[in-house]
Amino acid sequence: MNSILYLTSRIIKNKFIRLLHKPAHLVLYLFAFGVLAYSLLISLEMPAIQASYGKIQWLCIFFAFYLVIFYFNAVSKGLSSGSSFFDMSDVNLLFCAPVNPKHILVYGICSQAGKSLLGGIFLLLQANTFISMGLTTLDLFLFFGGYVLALLLFEFMSLSIYIISNQKGNRKNIIKAIAFAPFLLLGLFFLYNFQGSGNFNIALLSCVEKGALKLIPVAGWITEGLRNYLSGNMQGMGYNLILTLLMGIFFLAVIILYHSDYYEDVLVATETAFEKKRAISEGNINAMANTSKKIRKGKRELKGMGPKALFYKHLLESSRGNRFFLFDGSSFLMIAGANIAAYLGKSSVGPILVLSISMYLQSFFIGTGRGLKELYTHYIYLIPESSFKKIIWSNAEVIVKHTLESIFMFFLPLLFTNWNPMTAILCALVRSLFSVFLVSANLLSQRIFKDVISQGLLVIIYLLFIIFAMAPGIIAAFYYGLFALSLWEALLSLLFFYLSRGVLHNSDIPTLQKKN
């Protein structure tokens, strides 16, 4: 055990040393912690108000939805390569060392808990939101603890699913059915309540109030336990907490007891993650994109001259790798969610609410698409055009994708709601331009910090930057409407794209490594 403690202390020390060698990142981390500390201190000094029961119910709904995303991600990973608490250095050093395997497993679990802790630290920025709802800073930390516990258990679940289902097609189908069954039951429960009330909000809140969240493993149990605590039902909270811990013990038992040891089971996931990291650091796009998925050639061909060729190249790649062209799983989730909410909540769900929620989700899930990958290949540097044009055209594909999403999200509800058509058009315009703004902001961070800023603890800086940059436009929207906000987004995007053009002057960026 002493060797594990020594290894942990060395890792922590080396991380601090590496951080000291990057002054820009060090300043950002200090600023992020400063903002976090300030937010928590302000929340402690704010006067307490009466908690709103309705707001607490909605908080639980959004929290459960957020955890469900990680639930499905864990199931997906478990059915493919599994998950791992270890790095490749652990495989090379610990797995062959004369150390008790159980001690190594404890080390891996603690390491994963630390990663989950850092990954969810941005939730603590919601202190003022919790206070405004009548909750306390302690309540905020309980939700934060629930989030960390959920992420840790999802890692256990992913590895357990991989151990049970590896190379066994029938078992994979059974696990898929078991994973989706709770949501089918929850959907039926919601439809039953909706049929009785005829109101989307009432039916949704009834599902929470009647404890239907308990149908969802881990994510629902943790959320229901927090809801019980806030409502003063300590017995219910204890029941859900015990259920969650028992599930965690079950996952650990599968990991430890299903085979003589767990080394072989975590190896595939560890090696897969390591190869992806190495591919990113080397710019080996082929290695990053290796997949057994069938590629459809289709009849489309490359078109365009100069930087326009990059746009058509990306469209061709999307059509070959995706059955629905530009739309992926997240696209259908956003479109379906917006339309279902608009249909079921005709009297209470308006386009502004849909716009607000979708923009919030965009801030977390939007990437720079294939435009970022082009920076790691030499082709974009060889095109004899201005950097500004090349950056715009190389990112046009992801902009078109989100524009099409916005059209389906706000135009389809016009068929079955009484939304104002002009408001729907402006909402689609604002969301589309917001995607352009996010792409330009990510590229600007690449230009300044030589990395995408929306990673790890720096997500706090990323969110603050988005909020401060968008604040003038949001304020203008209150006085002059959504068109003012869309105009502000367009101006910011053009400015950020112009300032980002310098990324193409960094000729030392790793280029494509051909596979032997």
Closest Cα partner for 62 from 225, 160, 164, 208?
Answer: 208
Same domain, 229 and 100: yes
Is residue 13 situated within a structural domain? no
Task: Domain of residue 426: give its range.
Answer: 284-291+302-505
Query: What pLDDT does residue 383 have?
Result: 85
434's CB contacts (< 8 A; 6+ apart) are: 359, 362, 489
Same domain, 249 and 197: yes
Is residue 218 situated within a structural domain? yes
Same domain, 236 and 346: no
How confident is the model over 160-218, as pLDDT tens digits? Answer: 887 787 767 688 888 888 888 988 988 888 888 888 777 777 888 888 888 888 888 89
One-letter amino acid of 421: P
Distances (CA, A) of 147 to 70, 405, 463, 478, 496: 10, 29, 19, 34, 34
Q: 3-class SS at 105?
A: helix
Interaxial angle between packed helices 308-321 and 387-394, expressed in degrees from 0 to 180 and rounded to the nearest 10: 20
pLDDT bin (cut points 50, 70, 90) of residue 130 is confident
**Residue 364 tokens, joined:** 């977390």
Same domain, 270 and 363: no
At residue 257, does pLDDT exceed 80? no
Give yes or no for a contact between 24 and 195, defined as CB atoms under 8 angstroms apart: no
How confident is the model over 374-420, as pLDDT tens digits? Answer: 776 777 888 888 888 888 888 888 888 889 999 999 999 998 888 99
Same domain, 345 and 466: yes
Is residue 490 situated within a structural domain? yes
Whole-number Å distance between alpha carbons of 326 and 93: 43
493's CB contacts (< 8 A; 6+ apart) are: 433, 436, 437, 439, 440
Give yes or no for a contact between 341 and 354, defined as CB atoms under 8 angstroms apart: yes
Is residue 7 situated within a structural domain? no
Is residue 52 situated within a structural domain? no
Same domain, 335 and 420: yes
Query: What pLDDT does residue 302 have?
Result: 65
The mean-pLDDT minimum among 80-89, 441-450, 507-516 falls in 507-516
Same domain, 244 and 335: no
How confident is the model over 410-469, as pLDDT tens digits? Answer: 999 998 888 999 999 999 999 999 988 988 887 777 776 655 444 555 666 777 788 888
Is residue 4 situated within a structural domain? no
Residue with tokens 């060392």: 97
The mean-pLDDT minimum among 32-46, 276-290, 346-360 falls in 276-290
How confident is the model over 289-312, as pLDDT tens digits? Answer: 555 455 555 565 667 788 888 888
**Residue 330 tokens, joined:** 């997240």
pLDDT bin (cut points 50, 70, 90) of residue 514 is very low
Same domain, 220 and 322: no
Same domain, 258 and 307: no
At residue 67, does pLDDT exceed 70? yes
Distances (CA, A) of 189 to 59, 82, 210, 236, 321: 20, 32, 10, 20, 37
Total domains in the chain come to 2
Same domain, 227 and 355: no
Residue 131 is given by DSSP the state H
Same domain, 400 and 477: yes
**Residue 119 tokens, joined:** 């990954």
Q: How many C-beta atoms lie closer than 10 Å to residue 12's C-beta?
A: 11
Query: What pLDDT does residue 106 have?
Result: 73
User: Which DSSP string corresponds to 224-255?
Assistant: HHHHHHHTT-HHHHHHHHHHHHHHHHHHHHHH
Element (H, E) at 413: none
Q: What share of the chain has pLDDT > 70, as a percent?
A: 78
Q: How many C-beta atoms lie closer than 10 Å to residue 73's C-beta?
A: 13
Query: What pLDDT does residue 454 have?
Result: 43
At residue 275, does pLDDT exceed 70? no
Is residue 86 situated within a structural domain? yes
pLDDT bin (cut points 50, 70, 90) of residue 3 is confident
Query: What pLDDT does residue 510 have?
Result: 45
The mean pLDDT of the chain is 78
Is residue 350 situated within a structural domain? yes
Same domain, 244 and 321: no
